[in-house]
Homo-oligomer: A and B are copies of this chain.
């Protein structure tokens, strides 16, 4: 067993999950707490790699599973099915998160800080301020990048006033030109050439069930929807495979244009009515103006239509 306390975000790590784990380690070090170590539960995506290269640090070590009794701190998630293998028998000392609470329980009292903000790093920023701990350029860049990623440069409807204020202060400390750095970073994440269609579908997919209807909503970011749709037929094949293999009632792929804040959906399966009750599908697709957030826009619509 690892003697250090391990800090990590969710599987299929995104920029908030990786950056918040690294920053939480720094925050604890600066607060004089027990030694702890940021790790990751999966591959670093291209957007996150852009950030790590910018601040010139290595990605955290990969963690495959935790032993019984291992002390851990969770960031950017709480649901055990999104966490590391073995989490049920680990000892969760602390959680910092901005999601709903579900599929989570502990045997002992713990520290738990959740706030309904757009990003975990916005909560961490608040902890630096509260404890009056100075924020270096590196930490500021990591937290700013996490906020840019989770809020799509403050354009997502998940964005709160706290995220805006944090990002403003953090980008000043980091000395970055928000629009330029932000777009460069987001664009780095939209380079999808290296991925197979199956991989694309799994880059950022969330599965859920309501009233017996099993649904996956996957999302990819792009600067050009037509560019992604060149692979439409193969993407549909991959979605059909997913439907068969995972016994899904419906599979939705949201291709999100981060420059214009719109999404094109591909919708397949027996229960395409979860979208069709609200929007007409043509050739299994529909273009949704102003829709970028799975959590705040797509999920409520789909759940309403089940």
- Taken together, the copies of this chain in the complex come to 2
Q: Which residues of B contact A106 (CB under 8 A)?
A: 100-102
Q: Which residues of B contact A113 (CB under 8 A)?
A: 112-114
Shortest CB–CB separation between residue A221 and chain B, in angstroms? Answer: 21
Q: Is A1 interfacial (CB 8 A cutoff)?
A: no
Q: Are B100 and A109 touching (Cβ within 8 A)?
A: yes
Contact residue among B98, B100, B105, B115 (Cβ-Cβ distance under 8 Å from A102): B105
Q: Is A227 interfacial (CB 8 A cutoff)?
A: no
Q: Are A116 and B110 touching (Cβ within 8 A)?
A: yes
Bound Cα distance from A87 to B51, whole angstroms: 43
Contact residue among B107, B109, B110, B114 (Cβ-Cβ distance under 8 Å from A111): B114
Shortest CB–CB separation between residue A117 and chain B, in angstroms? Answer: 8
A interface size (C-beta, 8 A): 20
Q: Is A108 interfacial (CB 8 A cutoff)?
A: yes
Q: Are B111 and A115 touching (Cβ within 8 A)?
A: yes
Q: Is A99 interfacial (CB 8 A cutoff)?
A: yes
Q: Is A179 interfacial (CB 8 A cutoff)?
A: no
Please encode chain A, from 192 to 216, with 1 for each CB lying within 8 Å of some chain B CB and 0 for all others.
0000000000000000000000000
Bound Cα distance from A116 to B107, whole angstroms: 12
Bound Cα distance from A107 to B101, whole angstroms: 8
Shortest CB–CB separation between residue A293 and chain B, in angstroms? Answer: 12
Q: Are A114 and B109 touching (Cβ within 8 A)?
A: yes
Q: Are A110 and B101 touching (Cβ within 8 A)?
A: yes
Q: Are A108 and B104 touching (Cβ within 8 A)?
A: no
**A109 nearest in chain B by CB position:** B116
Bound Cα distance from A109 to B123, whole angstroms: 13
Q: Is A245 interfacial (CB 8 A cutoff)?
A: no
Per the 8 Å Cβ criterion, residues 92-135 of A in contact with B are: 98-116, 130
Per the 8 Å Cβ criterion, residues 229-246 of A in contact with B are: none
A100-B107, A102-B105, A112-B113 given. 19 additional CB < 8 A pairs? Answer: A98-B109, A99-B109, A100-B105, A100-B106, A101-B101, A101-B104, A101-B105, A101-B106, A101-B110, A103-B105, A104-B104, A110-B114, A110-B116, A111-B114, A111-B115, A111-B116, A113-B113, A113-B114, A130-B130
